[in-house]
Amino acid sequence: MPIVTLGYECAGDAAAREALLDLAMGANRRRKSSEAIRRGRLPAEGLSFAATDEAGTLVGTVRLWNVAAGDDGRPALLLGPLAVAPTHAGLGVGSRLMRRAVAKAAWLGHAAILLVGDPEYYERFGFAAAPAADLAMPGPFERHRLLGLELAPGALAGAAGLIRPTGAEARDEAALDLAVGA
Protein backbone atom coordinates (compact mmCIF):
# COMPACT_ATOMS: atom_id res chain seq x y z
CA MET A 1 0.00 0.00 0.00
CA PRO A 2 1.38 3.44 -0.90
CA ILE A 3 2.38 5.78 1.90
CA VAL A 4 0.09 8.80 2.10
CA THR A 5 0.71 11.70 4.46
CA LEU A 6 -2.00 14.07 5.67
CA GLY A 7 -1.21 17.68 6.36
CA TYR A 8 -2.47 21.20 5.95
CA GLU A 9 -2.93 22.61 2.49
CA CYS A 10 -0.44 25.30 1.52
CA ALA A 11 -0.48 27.99 -1.16
CA GLY A 12 1.68 25.84 -3.44
CA ASP A 13 -1.08 23.20 -3.54
CA ALA A 14 -3.63 25.43 -5.31
CA ALA A 15 -2.92 24.42 -8.93
CA ALA A 16 -2.63 20.71 -8.08
CA ARG A 17 -5.81 20.89 -5.99
CA GLU A 18 -7.79 22.49 -8.81
CA ALA A 19 -6.51 19.91 -11.32
CA LEU A 20 -7.44 17.09 -8.92
CA LEU A 21 -10.92 18.54 -8.35
CA ASP A 22 -11.48 18.87 -12.11
CA LEU A 23 -10.37 15.27 -12.61
CA ALA A 24 -12.44 13.86 -9.75
CA MET A 25 -15.58 15.98 -10.14
CA GLY A 26 -15.64 17.07 -13.75
CA ALA A 27 -15.79 20.45 -15.39
CA ASN A 28 -19.35 21.13 -14.18
CA ARG A 29 -18.24 21.30 -10.55
CA ARG A 30 -18.07 25.09 -10.66
CA ARG A 31 -21.80 25.28 -11.41
CA LYS A 32 -22.87 23.57 -8.19
CA SER A 33 -24.65 25.35 -5.35
CA SER A 34 -21.81 24.52 -2.97
CA GLU A 35 -19.39 26.32 -5.27
CA ALA A 36 -21.57 29.44 -5.13
CA ILE A 37 -21.10 29.48 -1.35
CA ARG A 38 -17.32 29.03 -1.63
CA ARG A 39 -16.74 31.48 -4.48
CA GLY A 40 -14.71 34.52 -3.40
CA ARG A 41 -14.24 33.23 0.16
CA LEU A 42 -11.35 31.83 2.11
CA PRO A 43 -11.69 28.40 3.72
CA ALA A 44 -12.25 28.28 7.48
CA GLU A 45 -9.00 28.83 9.34
CA GLY A 46 -7.10 25.62 10.04
CA LEU A 47 -9.53 23.47 8.04
CA SER A 48 -7.88 22.91 4.64
CA PHE A 49 -6.25 19.49 4.33
CA ALA A 50 -4.05 17.82 1.74
CA ALA A 51 -3.00 14.21 1.27
CA THR A 52 0.32 13.66 -0.49
CA ASP A 53 2.15 10.56 -1.68
CA GLU A 54 5.81 9.66 -1.13
CA ALA A 55 6.84 11.97 -4.01
CA GLY A 56 4.94 14.92 -2.53
CA THR A 57 2.21 14.75 -5.17
CA LEU A 58 -1.23 15.86 -4.04
CA VAL A 59 -3.53 12.81 -4.02
CA GLY A 60 -6.40 14.08 -1.86
CA THR A 61 -8.01 17.27 -0.62
CA VAL A 62 -10.81 18.50 1.60
CA ARG A 63 -11.64 21.96 2.92
CA LEU A 64 -14.32 23.44 5.15
CA TRP A 65 -15.97 26.84 4.85
CA ASN A 66 -17.76 29.11 7.34
CA VAL A 67 -21.49 29.40 6.69
CA ALA A 68 -24.69 30.52 8.37
CA ALA A 69 -27.13 27.62 8.59
CA GLY A 70 -30.59 29.04 8.10
CA ASP A 71 -32.42 32.28 8.60
CA ASP A 72 -31.24 32.75 12.19
CA GLY A 73 -27.59 32.79 11.05
CA ARG A 74 -26.53 29.76 13.05
CA PRO A 75 -22.74 29.25 12.66
CA ALA A 76 -21.73 26.06 10.86
CA LEU A 77 -19.21 24.74 8.38
CA LEU A 78 -19.73 23.53 4.82
CA LEU A 79 -17.45 20.62 3.96
CA GLY A 80 -16.18 20.11 0.46
CA PRO A 81 -15.21 19.28 -1.95
CA LEU A 82 -13.57 16.02 -0.91
CA ALA A 83 -11.55 14.47 -3.72
CA VAL A 84 -9.04 11.66 -4.08
CA ALA A 85 -6.86 10.94 -7.11
CA PRO A 86 -8.02 7.88 -9.08
CA THR A 87 -4.59 6.32 -8.44
CA HIS A 88 -5.39 6.29 -4.72
CA ALA A 89 -9.13 5.53 -4.80
CA GLY A 90 -10.21 2.73 -2.48
CA LEU A 91 -7.16 3.04 -0.25
CA GLY A 92 -8.86 4.93 2.58
CA VAL A 93 -7.44 8.35 1.72
CA GLY A 94 -10.89 9.97 1.61
CA SER A 95 -11.85 8.39 4.93
CA ARG A 96 -8.66 9.62 6.56
CA LEU A 97 -9.25 13.14 5.25
CA MET A 98 -12.83 13.07 6.52
CA ARG A 99 -11.88 11.85 9.99
CA ARG A 100 -9.16 14.51 10.21
CA ALA A 101 -11.50 17.29 9.04
CA VAL A 102 -14.31 16.36 11.44
CA ALA A 103 -11.97 15.89 14.40
CA LYS A 104 -10.18 19.19 13.79
CA ALA A 105 -13.47 21.08 13.37
CA ALA A 106 -14.69 19.67 16.69
CA TRP A 107 -11.38 20.47 18.38
CA LEU A 108 -11.60 24.06 17.14
CA GLY A 109 -15.05 24.37 18.74
CA HIS A 110 -17.28 24.35 15.66
CA ALA A 111 -20.80 23.13 16.40
CA ALA A 112 -21.97 21.67 13.08
CA ILE A 113 -20.88 20.60 9.61
CA LEU A 114 -23.03 20.50 6.47
CA LEU A 115 -22.27 18.99 3.09
CA VAL A 116 -23.85 17.93 -0.17
CA GLY A 117 -22.79 14.41 -1.03
CA ASP A 118 -23.47 10.70 -1.21
CA PRO A 119 -25.44 9.71 1.90
CA GLU A 120 -24.14 6.13 1.85
CA TYR A 121 -20.54 7.35 1.98
CA TYR A 122 -20.92 10.15 4.52
CA GLU A 123 -23.17 8.29 7.00
CA ARG A 124 -20.11 6.38 8.23
CA PHE A 125 -18.77 9.69 9.56
CA GLY A 126 -22.01 10.55 11.37
CA PHE A 127 -23.69 12.69 8.70
CA ALA A 128 -27.45 12.35 8.18
CA ALA A 129 -30.23 14.10 6.28
CA ALA A 130 -32.37 14.85 9.36
CA PRO A 131 -30.22 17.67 10.84
CA ALA A 132 -30.30 19.51 7.49
CA ALA A 133 -33.92 18.71 6.58
CA ASP A 134 -35.16 22.30 6.80
CA LEU A 135 -32.09 23.93 5.26
CA ALA A 136 -31.57 24.82 1.60
CA MET A 137 -28.67 25.58 -0.71
CA PRO A 138 -28.59 28.80 -2.79
CA GLY A 139 -29.56 27.17 -6.07
CA PRO A 140 -30.43 23.72 -7.34
CA PHE A 141 -29.47 20.76 -5.14
CA GLU A 142 -30.67 17.25 -4.46
CA ARG A 143 -32.52 17.33 -1.12
CA HIS A 144 -31.50 13.79 -0.08
CA ARG A 145 -27.82 14.72 -0.53
CA LEU A 146 -27.86 17.70 1.89
CA LEU A 147 -26.47 16.23 5.10
CA GLY A 148 -25.57 17.54 8.53
CA LEU A 149 -23.46 16.51 11.49
CA GLU A 150 -23.92 18.09 14.91
CA LEU A 151 -20.60 18.32 16.72
CA ALA A 152 -22.43 19.95 19.63
CA PRO A 153 -25.78 18.38 20.57
CA GLY A 154 -28.71 20.35 19.15
CA ALA A 155 -26.50 22.65 17.06
CA LEU A 156 -28.81 22.34 14.05
CA ALA A 157 -32.08 21.78 15.94
CA GLY A 158 -34.68 24.08 14.44
CA ALA A 159 -32.31 25.44 11.79
CA ALA A 160 -34.36 26.40 8.74
CA GLY A 161 -33.80 28.46 5.63
CA LEU A 162 -30.94 29.21 3.30
CA ILE A 163 -27.31 28.29 3.88
CA ARG A 164 -25.20 31.42 3.31
CA PRO A 165 -21.45 32.12 3.21
CA THR A 166 -19.99 33.95 6.20
CA GLY A 167 -16.28 33.28 5.84
CA ALA A 168 -13.62 35.85 5.17
CA GLU A 169 -13.67 37.27 1.69
CA ALA A 170 -10.63 36.71 -0.49
CA ARG A 171 -9.55 40.32 -0.94
CA ASP A 172 -6.52 40.02 -3.18
CA GLU A 173 -5.70 38.00 -6.28
CA ALA A 174 -3.30 35.62 -4.50
CA ALA A 175 -5.79 34.87 -1.73
CA LEU A 176 -8.54 34.31 -4.27
CA ASP A 177 -6.31 31.91 -6.22
CA LEU A 178 -5.69 29.94 -3.04
CA ALA A 179 -9.37 29.92 -2.07
CA VAL A 180 -10.92 28.66 -5.29
CA GLY A 181 -8.07 28.15 -7.72
CA ALA A 182 -7.45 30.09 -10.89
- This model's pTM is above 0.85: yes
Contact 108, 134 (CB under 8 A): no
What's the confidence (pLDDT) of residue 35? 84
Count Cβ atoms below 10 Å from residue 80 Cβ, excluding itself: 25
**Alpha carbon distance 9, 16 (integer Å):** 11
What's the confidence (pLDDT) of residue 173? 47
Which residues have CB under 8 Å from 91's CB, separation 6+? 1, 2, 4
Is the per-residue pLDDT at 174 higher than 90? no
Q: Which pLDDT tens digit goes with each residue over 14-60?
A: 889 988 888 777 777 666 778 889 889 999 999 999 999 999 999 99
The answer to which of 99-103, 113-117, 137-141 has the lowest mean pLDDT is 137-141
104, exposed or middle or buried, with CB in 10 Å at 0-12, 13-18, 19+? middle
What's the confidence (pLDDT) of residue 182? 40
pLDDT band at 76 (very low <50, low <70, confident <90, very high): very high
Q: Which pLDDT tens digit goes with each residue over 47-67?
A: 999 999 999 999 999 999 999
40 beta partners: none
**Domains, the chain, ranges and CATH?**
5-180 (3.40.630.30)
